[in-house]
Amino acid sequence: MELPAALRQAVDTLLEGVPLATLKQAAETLSQRYRAETRDGRLHLADDLAAKAYLATRLPATYAAVRASFTAVEDARNDFVPRTLIDVGAGPGTALWAARDCWPHLAEAALLETSPAIRAIGSDLARHAAPVASTYLAADVTGRWPDLQAADLVTLAYVLDELPPAEIEPLIDRLWALTGDMLVIVEPGTPAGWQRILAVRTRLLTQGAHLIAPCPHREPCPLTEPDWCHFARRVARSRLHRLAKGGDVPWEDEKFIFIAASRHPARAAAAARVLAPPQTASGRVRLKLCEADGNLRDQSLTRRDGNAFKVARRLDWGDALPALPPST
């Protein structure tokens, strides 16, 4: 997955003239802070350099994760056509760009962000996101919020891990209150990220939300540690991305987890979700499935299963399954 061309060009322009060694050092510091989930009272994106390191090394991956989460929403709710967006902890506007790509009727976006450095960069990028009229609002979402009308789509991507755990529940309630239709929350695909999403899921269910994706049911999550639910997207690395990260391959795999919940039920309810890369060998495919009855199932199909096998071998990690056709 790649960034939309207009965003990629605007990012390249912002990164022009930043010395590579400086960017590399800032990227390393940022990466250590994210890996350790450092909460020392300082913002990770506290200054212009950290914000630019984020553009070079994290934006492509978080974009891919958010965009993939939106695809799952679109698959389940093809009647959902958002015109308004509220994105919280917006950073450079990742969710705005992904929503604009997924839903061309998006017209207005309010982007809440506490860091002045990334707010300045995000506002600059958002000028290229026509036809969406975007407004960045300075807000620490653990404190006082600006007055906002509910939006069709509300998003929170890669933010929960930066907040004190006690702030999560009140934040989810606030986001849900602002949700006209769909709320999408994305986190890193780590065991800790999954635990946070599980807590969000529980909270949203008590609020009466309909789960849209990835869970095909409202039952307790059937996965148990050390296993955890997550998905992955392959992200193309630009030359600068590669140099700033010191990696040699032109891609990386971003692991992520998300939850999409709505005030309306899914139109195309999934019979199951594929929870791991399907294992294929000649004439056989093995699927790890989370099923609509709340159970986990390891399903093997062979050529003898006819149509069901044909459907199964086209499936990918993260796909929703309609009911598999009966074996023929």
Ligand X SMILES: C[S@@+](CC[C@H](N)C(=O)[O-])C[C@H]1O[C@@H](n2cnc3c(N)ncnc32)[C@H](O)[C@@H]1O
In terms of CB distance, is 90 or 270 closer to ligand X? 90
Minimum distance, C-beta of residue 25 to ligand X, in the bound complex (Å): 19
Check: CB of residue 317 under 8 Å from CB of residue 231.
yes
Check: CB of residue 57 under 8 Å from CB of residue 30.
yes
Q: Does 140 bind ligand X (CB under 6 A)?
A: yes
Residue 232 CA to residue 94 CA, distance in Å, equals: 17
Residue closest to 156 by CA, chosen among 203, 226, 219: 203
Q: Does 1 bind ligand X (CB under 6 A)?
A: no
Residue 252 CA to residue 255 CA, distance in Å, equals: 10
Minimum distance, C-beta of residue 11 to ligand X, in the bound complex (Å): 12
Site mask for ligand X (CB under 6 A), range 159-188, x = bound: x--xx-------------------------
Site mask for ligand X (CB under 6 A), range 248-267, x = bound: --------------------
Q: Does 57 bind ligand X (CB under 6 A)?
A: no
Amino acid at 192: A
In terms of CB distance, is 45 or 99 closer to ligand X? 45
Minimum distance, C-beta of residue 301 to ligand X, in the bound complex (Å): 36
Residue 167 CA to residue 173 CA, distance in Å, equals: 10
Residue 10 CA to residue 232 CA, distance in Å, equals: 26
Residue 58 CA to residue 51 CA, distance in Å, equals: 10
User: Binders of ligand X: how many residues, by CB under 6 A?
Assistant: 24
In terms of CB distance, is 90 or 235 closer to ligand X? 90
Question: Which of the residues 15 through 44 are near ligand X (CB under 6 A)?
Answer: 43
Q: Does 232 bind ligand X (CB under 6 A)?
A: no
In terms of CB distance, is 11 or 59 closer to ligand X? 59
Question: Which of the residues 66 through 85 are near ligand X (CB under 6 A)?
Answer: 66
Check: CB of residue 198 under 8 Å from CB of residue 221.
yes
Residue linked to tokens 């962000």: 113
Minimum distance, C-beta of residue 283 to ligand X, in the bound complex (Å): 41
Question: Which of the residues 84 through 103 are near ligand X (CB under 6 A)?
Answer: 89-91, 94-95
Phi, psi of 135 (to 5 degrees): -130, 125
Residue 243 host element (H or E): helix 239-245
Tell me if residue 16 falls in helix, strand or coil.
Answer: coil
- The stretch among 25-33, 154-162, 236-244, 246-254 that binds ligand X (CB under 6 A) is 154-162
Check: CB of residue 174 under 8 Å from CB of residue 78.
no
In the DSSP assignment, the letter for residue 209 is P
Q: Does 141 bind ligand X (CB under 6 A)?
A: yes
Question: Which of the residues 117 through 136 are near ligand X (CB under 6 A)?
Answer: 118
Question: Which residues contact ligand X by CB under 6 A?
Answer: 43, 45, 59, 62, 66, 89-91, 94-95, 112-115, 118, 139-142, 157-159, 162-163
